[in-house]
Structure 1
Amino acid sequence: MAMLCDPEALDSLSEDAIAGILQYWAHFCDLTDSLLSQNVPSCGLDSQLGPTIATLCDHGLASLLQDHFLQSLEEAFKKSAVKKFWQQFHSYCDASAIEKANFHEQDNWPEEILSKSLKEICSEKRSQENCLLVLVENLKSFEDRIAKRESEIEHPSSQLMSRYQLMASSVLLTTLPWDFPDILRIYFKKKLEELNSMIADGDSYELEINIHDSQNDADFYHMDTSMCGCNGLVMQIGKVVSDLRSLGFTSMAEDAYSFAIFLLLKSKVNELAGDDYRVPVLWSLKKWIRAVPLQFLHDLLGYLGDSIEYEKESLNVKSPLASQPSSFPGIGIPSEALVRWQLRLEYFAYETLQDLRIGKLFEIIVDYPDSSPAIEDLKRCLEYTGQHSKLVDSFISSLKYRLLTAGASTNDILHQYVSTIKALRTIDPAGVFLEAVGEPIRDYLRGRKDTIKCIVTMLTDGTGGNSGGSGNAGDSLLEELNRDAENQDGADFEEDGGTDEKQAWLNAERWEPDPVEADPLKGSRNRRKIDILELMVGIIGSKDQLVNEYRVMLAEKLLNKSDYDIDSEIRTLELLKIHFGESSMQKCEIMLNDLIDSKRTNANIKATLGKAAAPGSEQREMNISLDILDATIISSNFWPPIQEEELNIPSSVNQLLSDYAKRFHEIKTPRKLMWKKNLGTVKLELQFEDRSMRFTVSPVHAAIIMQFQEKPSWSSKILAAEIGMPADTLNRRISFWISKGILTESAGREPDDPSFTIVDSMADLNKNGLASEGCQLMEEESERSVASVEEQLIKEMTVFEKFIMGLLTNYGTATLDKIHNTLKMFCISEPTYDKSLHQLQSFLSDLISEEKIEMRDGLYSLKK
């Protein structure tokens, strides 16, 4: 037997006294073993233990007997309770991953084993606590007796119970299996899922708990457990949490049910959000948070005695997520602990929903504006989390991977860019994050040759640039033009400093600094002025290029009109004049006026020329009426260069054009008409033996098919000479009629001179078959009435080609900027060099493709 005592005290004792102390000590150890073995203190042991403890304490051994008693409790606790407790979980801890998965699928696991094992070990622990109370009471009796003689004395027995609690917790934690926290998480996860299912099925619950004395554990186990449904389930969970707390697993228990709550919340966010972006989610999510996890936590904290209500002086507490405290249905004024939980849950919900929406932002913007509710939810989430940089980084990555690729059409990229602007303008009206997100798109679009054409189509076409007319109305930029016109007066008024003093103060009070992600070189005022049209012009480089492309497209559209209906073009032009200025749109306005004048002149000529037609004239004989002719008379100096092509038309049609031109000269002296016979449209009705077919084609196609009225078969070269065009051009154009099953092609006498024959009957038509409509579309797209902007640029820049070649001969190499500045410096007389840097670069690219020059490391030089 080992004993520790003060050496000085032992020196003052006689051998008989020491022997007596040893005898008392041995008796105390026997009594301790008997007390712990019975697990229930008896009156006999208690009566013997008191004098023994008093004698040992008189000799200064109080600390020693406390240490011995706690050590005995620890050894007994390890042998009788801890070892048995952990053995209950060995089957799971020693299992493989697949076997553990099977455990998870069992309905009553780990509820049954966890509840049973916790009940057993807590019962054992309470028995030891009762034994410890015997020692504490005897020590207090001795301490009280000493206190009568000495005014100041410490009472070490008051800390004995806390030392035991710490000892029991230490024993459990030092022997803790690695998988026990997972077991707790699985338990709480299953219980909360069960609770959520009950509430989803319509079961409401409200658990009334009286806060009990935490020292009175008997109250824990004698509470009413006859409740059913949600109330009983919360009490089961609360009992497990209480047992874990009593064992020192407070933090582990809170982590476990917190994990389960957040896991359930994340699952709910995914369930509500999903892939449907047309329904707002936040309101439903916050409602669910209050109905399920907060209600559960309110009842759980009340069961555990942790519910501390707000005091009056704390009612002014403010929260970034909600005005706290607020009254919850079924809860009333929440406790401080519940408010902290509400803030944690709501922030987690905002962050989870935000991450989901950011991950699907590309799809959300594709569906914009139908997906506006999802954008609004994302905006609110970002206001609370402040994680805007996450949105920028994620979305730029999606754009580079999914949109800015060679497989995506320019139209699709532009439509996505417009939707991106509108969506991000909702999230960030200042445009800070649009600058970062839009820059890769703008850089990529500048490298595409058809970008300007697609932008102009979106500006002028109400279908958003989709020829099929199925485009989303939101894809068109016409609405931006309308908005710009509506806001023009107000914007000018504000720019002129017309805002009154009161409004200025209101604006100053609402001012906020730019986010840290903002470009410091761009001020807030300039950033707020950014709109979609300005961004589009920024892609092109200058408004002049956009206007030139619009002028070409307008000319193409007007020349291909079969009537004089230009109301939509006039409306679009007026909107463009507001945005780009009247002077830049002057030529376009003259083009539209030409159509208006053409309609009036056409009606006048028909009225007079129709009356003058002689009864026996050639027109009457050929059954050609003047009503079939509508002429578009243009002022060629204000129109883009017109594509010309030699064409011989039937004499009857030619005579009709001559009569029309003669009458025009009489009315508009001294102006004369010069017919562009290859331009316009012709409506034909082809009649065969058993069918008739109608077509709207170009004059070239009409001239080709009308030659088959004279004879049913032609060779390629003879037909080309008759129409007045090269044979290869004829072979390309005649493929349209072959694709429609009107003509058939066969081998001629010479390999390069095929023969074409008209199909008379439906039987021959079915035998030859019909080609797809794609042939017609490709043919029509390849025929342009007006020279494109690129063709005009090449024609205009050709005069500077010799100058560029001479410059490179003299200097050897030159950068793009040097060539551009040299041309501006020396080419100041007619023709004047007035091209942009982008236009010069495009022309130099054509010279490279023609292998006249080359470029290496940004330097241009002559081709070697």
Structure 2
Amino acid sequence: MAEPAPAVVDLGILDALGDAAVDEILHCYAGFCSATDSLLSGSGDLSAGADLVGHVHCLCKHGLLSLVRDHFLRALEESFERNGSSKFWRHFEPYSDISLLKSKSLIHDDEVQQVLCIALEEISSEKHYQEKCLSILVHALQSYEGDMLQGKHNAEADRIFLFSKYQLIVSSTLMATLPQCFPEILHWYFKRRLEDISTMMDDGIDSAGKDDMDLDEKSTCIKAGEMDIDEGHHQGKYLDEVVKNIGKVVRDLRGLGFTSTTEDAYASAIFLLLKAKVHNLAGDDYRSSILGAVKGWIQAVPLRFFKALLSYLGDSYDYDSPSSGLKSPLASRPSSCYPGIDAPSEGLVRWQLRLEYFAYETLQDLRIAKLFEIIVDYPDSTPAIEDLKQCLEYTGQHSKLVKSFISALRYRLLTAGASTNDILHQYVSTIKALRTIDPAGIFLEAVGEPIREYLRGRKDTIKCIVTMLTDGSGGSPDGTGNAADSLLEELNRDEESQENSVFEDGFNSDDKQAWENAASWEPDPAEADPLKGSRNQRKVDILGMIVGIIGSKDQLVNEYRVMLAEKLLNKSDYDIDSEIRTLELLKIHFGESSMLKCEIMLNDLIDSKRTNSNIKATIKRNPQTSANLGDIGLSVDNLDSTIISSNFWPPIQEETFNLPEPFDQLLSDYARKYNEIKTPRKLLWKKNIGTVKLELQFEDREMQFSVAPLHAAIIMQFEDQKSWTSKNLASAIGVPMDLLNRRISFWISKNQWDQTLTTAYSR
């Protein structure tokens, strides 16, 4: 609105005035000053207003309108400084020490509320009185200008101009003398009031949720139900009363020019409450989602408070009103349901957006700070991962997750004290957990790179990876690992995806996927590596990422072949169903040609089982060939052989030694029968490989062991001779003395035989 132009005084005209006109001006100005002082003295007597009007008319008649305005506004400013501002700040002098204020040592429960309300009431009363005085001046100016211009002058413009100037005087005077403690006092006041409201509303929410009684209990609790209704009624009245008191304080503060300071104070208070609520709900339990509870609390507590406060202050806008208009692109009509609110105002929508964003960001920061523990507990912590995903979708702060988690990994996992097995398990859990948040794996690449780089420097990385690929218990050496950590799960998933890749309704699946990708296309974030391809072409491949640690699938396949050979040679039976299943899954991922040697190794076990049965059946039909073995309790039934195609198996280290005669005879008979059945093939025994089951009998007990053939050869020498020197025993078995001493320590270490063998064996 345009400011009315002040009257221009021509000094030449003043010089031309006669003495009578000058005397009249001096007399009117003196009277005007006296009337102004009487009005603004603060006594409450407005009778001087009649004299003021006449003097104003006289001065305006001589073109001194600007003089009238300036003097009266200056007098208002001086009076407000003397009777309003200085008295107002004097109430808060006891709280000038901010350190004591923050420590709460000077504040009692209701002290701030009482002091603030009294101070606001006094200064608002003074301001209201001065506004009445200003209204008298406005009336005097309007009546004079109306008479002179015959109603053509815009009197409303004069009124708006003078009151806006006065409001500026009030605000600038208070802000110029604002003590440092005042914003803290406002914050403390709103914090206490909002804590009371929060406690009351939380109690109401808790009591509303208790609805577990059966029909018989409800039928006998009519009185209790009536009490609940009464309690809800009293609760609503209490809320209205508290909001009314807060609204009066906010309205008075706004009138004094503290609009932004006031909003900052109650906004910071409600955000502190919201932060405390999120922390309380989140805790260290990652097995349940809390985002819904947080959003429910926002609607039930702060939004109800803001609804009542904005309505009291008259800051509501009706969506259906054509004149309301949304001033912010963020203030769109919300889809969520407000409790007890039919048409939320623009101000309320703005507050909901602010509160929800703050809640998302607070919960996101909590979960990011504990992401390492959350992933350790995966998949039990899936609800916490889902909450984090929603928060990041709302805030878009994925880079914060990447930086924080990489720091936690380097400090807590990628250390010399962590085993390679544990690092790999955490890496697999990280891939699975972050796959929920980032299906395209864009941020997972950044998070996983430090782990991959560290594992490349570990010597046992390949072995641990192969163990995880082949062991359904998760690769833990003691068999206590989580089956979900096993990479067999991923192998099964690859097989299922291949089986499910079929045509649907005559529509090519590749074309269908292309259409789906086009419909859901999104640009890559700035953090994405352009060399990795678009997010729409990516898929998080756990096995691919694990193999990427090694750099070559051939190394992994060779290590798997070595471990498979060790496992097959240590089997006491021919049960290889799990190994066959694993091999088939590996063939899907690595290709059949890569796994050909491993397939031949398994076929050797199958052929060995069949050949072993045939040989045993042949020997049993001709028992005379092994009659000499019956005397010592040995028969062909005691022998199971694994016949390998040595060209396809990893190199096997051999140790030569002498077996006891009965055992050697049994192996010779077995080999001869094999040659008869498989002519011209012959068996070459690798006597150091395999397992021997022994039963050792002593005077008071019997013990059973499963040991290597050399261990069995050593202990069986004590059956014919009770004591041996190391030299003689080594010569009898046919091994070097240092090897004998290493092997016999196995038996000496057994507590049951310690005393016996120590006495019988002398070095």
Structure 2 length as normaliser, TM-score? 0.88
Is the Cα contact below 8 Å between 1:109 and 1:187 reproduced in 2? Answer: no
Q: How does 1:57-136 map to 2 (within 5 A)?
A: 57-94=60-97, 97-98=99-100, 100-103=102-105, 106-136=108-138
Correspondence 1:302-451 to 2 at 5 A:
302-311=311-320, 324=334, 326-451=336-461
Structure 1 letter corresponding to 2:296? K
Q: 2:14 aligns with which of 10, 24, 27?
A: 10
1:693-726 Cα shifts (integer Å, max 9, x gaps): 3222222222222233334443333322222222
Q: Which amino acid aligns with 1:63?
A: S
- Matched residue, 1:23: 27
Q: How does 1:623-642 map to 2 (within 5 A)?
A: 623-642=633-652
Question: Tell me, what secondary structure is at the counterpart of 1:696?
Answer: strand
Residue 198 of structure 1 corresponds to which residue in structure 2? 200
Residue range with higher mean Cα deviation, 51-60 or 249-258: 51-60
> What amino acid maps onto 1:297 in structure 2?
F
Residues 368 and 419 in structure 1, CA contact (< 8 A), matched pair in contact too: yes
1:142 aligns with 2:152: no
Alignment CA distance shift 1:204-1:77 (3 Å): farther
**3-state DSSP class of the match of 2:60?**
helix
Q: Do the aligned residues in 1 keep the contact of 2:440 with 2:536 (CA within 8 Å)?
A: no
Residue 164 of structure 1 corresponds to which residue in structure 2? 166
CA drift of 1:366 comes to 1.7
8 A Cα contact 1:430 1:528, kept in partner? yes
Amino acid at match of 2:261: M
Give the AA of the match of 1:78: E
- Is residue 2:295 matched to residue 1:290? no
Contact 1:321 1:347 (8 Å CA) reproduced: no
Residues 1:488 and 1:158: Cα distance change in structure 2 (over 3 Å): closer
Cα distance in 2, alignment partners of residues 131 and 337 from structure 1: 35
User: Which residue number in structure 2 is paired with residue 260 of structure 1?
Assistant: 269
Question: 1:621 and 1:226 mapped to 2: Cα distance?
Answer: 97
| Aligned residues of 1:327 and 1:333 also touching (Cα < 8 A) | no
User: Does structure 1 residue 575 correspond to structure 2 residue 575?
Assistant: no
**What is aligned with 2:255?**
246
The aligned residue for residue 37 of structure 2 is 33
Paired with 1:329 and 1:135, the residues of 2 have a C-alpha distance of 49
Tell me how far apart the structure 1 counterparts of residues 446 and 255 of structure 2 sit (CA, whole Å): 55
Q: The residue matched to 1:122 in structure 2 has which SS?
A: helix
> How big is the shift at 1:356?
2.0
Aligned residue type for 1:264: L
Gaps of 5+ in 2: 1-7, 208-233
Distance in 1 (alpha carbons) for counterparts of 2:331 and 2:596: 56
Q: Deviations over 1:274-297 (max 9, x none)?
A: 222221222222211111111111
> In structure 2, how many angstroms separate the alpha carbons of the residues matched to 1:155 and 1:554?
96
- Alpha-carbon distance change, 68 to 509 in structure 1, aligned in 2, over 3 angstroms: same
Alignment identity in percent? 63
Deviation digits for residues 273-320 of structure 1, max 9, x if unmatched? Answer: 222222122222221111111111111111100011113679999988
Aligned partners of 1:417 and 1:441 also within 8 Å: yes
Corresponding position of 1:785: none
> Would the alpha carbon gap of residues 57 and 203 (structure 1) be closer, same or farther in structure 2, given more than 3 Å must change?
farther
Partner SS for 2:703: strand
Tell me the CA shift for residue 626 of structure 1: 3.1
Query: How many aligned positions are there?
Result: 726
1:403 CA drift (Å): 2.0
How far 1:140 moved relative to its partner? 2.2
Structure 2 residue identity aligned to 1:670: P
SS in 1 for 2:103: helix
State the distance in 1 between where 2:672 and 2:592 align.
Answer: 36
Q: How does 1:820-835 map onto structure 2 within 5 Å?
A: none
In the alignment, the residues of structure 2 paired with residue 421 and residue 357 of structure 1 have an alpha-carbon distance, to the nearest angstrom, of 17
Which position in structure 2 is the counterpart of 1:55? 58
Return closer, same or farther for 1:337/1:647 CA change in 2, 3 Å cut-off.
same
The alpha-carbon distance between structure 1 residues 428 and 38, as it changes in their structure 2 partners (threshold 3 A), is closer
CA distance in 2, matches of 1:240, 1:151: 38
Deviation at 1:550, TM superposition (A): 0.7
Other-structure match for 1:604: 614
Is the 8 Å Cα contact of residues 315 and 324 (structure 1) preserved in structure 2? no
> Out of 463, 466, 472, which is 1:453 matched to?
463
- Letter of the aligned partner of 2:93 in structure 1? H
Q: TM-score, normalised by structure 1?
A: 0.79
Residue 577 of structure 1, CA deviation: 1.4
Which residue of 1 is the match for residue 226 of structure 2?
none
**Cα pair distance change 1:85/1:744, threshold 3 Å:** same
Q: Is the contact between residue 714 and residue 757 of structure 1 (CA under 8 Å) also seen in structure 2?
A: no
For 1:283 and 1:571, locate their aligned partners in 2 and report how far apart those are by CA, in whole Å.
43
Unmatched segments (≥5 aa) in structure 1? 206-224, 747-754, 760-864
Return the offset for 1:489: 4.7
CA distance in 2, matches of 1:468, 1:510: 46
Partner of 1:617, secondary structure, is helix
Partner SS, residue 744 of structure 1: helix
Amino acid of the structure 2 residue aligned with 1:422: K
- Deviation of 1:323 after TM superposition, in Å, equals 6.2
Distance 1:516 1:304 in 2: 44
8 A Cα contact 1:103 1:109, kept in partner:
no
- Counterpart code for 1:341: W
Report if aligned partners of 2:88, 2:123 keep a CA contact under 8 Å in 1: yes
> 5 Å matches for 1:503-582?
504-524=514-534, 527-582=537-592
Question: What secondary structure, in the 3-state scheme, does the structure 1 residue paired with 2:132 have?
Answer: helix
**Cα distance in 2 between the residues matched to 1:504 and 1:526:** 10
What SS does structure 2 have at the residue aligned with 1:370? coil
Distance across 1 between alignment mates of 2:235 and 2:701: 90
Cα distance in 1, alignment partners of residues 326 and 169 from structure 2: 43
1:427-450 superposed Cα distances (whole Å, 9 cap, x missing partner): 222222222222222222222221
Give 2:260's aligned amino acid.
S
Distance 1:99 1:352 in 2: 27
Is 1:39–1:131's contact at 8 Å kept on the other side of the alignment? no
d(CA) in 1 for partners of 2:201 and 2:14?
71
Among 260, 282, 303, which residue is 1:273 paired with?
A: 282
SS of the aligned residue for 2:594 comes to: helix
Q: Which residue of 2 aligns with 1:693?
A: 703
Q: Deviations over 1:589-627 (max 9, x none)?
A: 111111112222222323332353359933222122433
| Structure-2 separation of matches of 1:158 and 1:49 | 20
**Distance of 1:168 and 1:406 partners within structure 2:** 68
Check the 8 A contact 2:414/2:423 in 1, yes or no: yes
Give the structure 1 partner of residue 759 of structure 2.
757
Q: Aligned pair in 2 of structure 1 residues 566, 316: CA closer, same or farther (>3 Å)? A: farther
Kindly provide the CA deviation profile for residues 549-594 of structure 1, in whole angstroms up to 9, marking residues without a partner as x. Answer: 1111000000011111111001001111122222221111111111
C-alpha deviation, 1:684, in angstroms: 2.3
Kindly indicate whether the alpha-carbon contact (under 8 Å) linking 1:92 and 1:100 is maintained by their aligned counterparts in 2: no
| Residue 210 of structure 2 corresponds to residue 231 of structure 1 | no
Match of 1:769 in 2: none
Whether the 8 Å CA contact 1:318–1:324 is kept in 2: the answer is: no
1:109 shift after superposition: 4.1
CA distance in 2, matches of 1:321, 1:372: 33
Q: Does 1:718 align with 2:720?
A: no
Evaluate the alpha carbon distance shift between residue 38 and residue 350 of structure 1 in structure 2; reply closer, same or farther with a 3 A threshold.
closer
1:315-367 Cα shifts (integer Å, max 9, x gaps): 99998898636542211121111111212222222222222222222222222
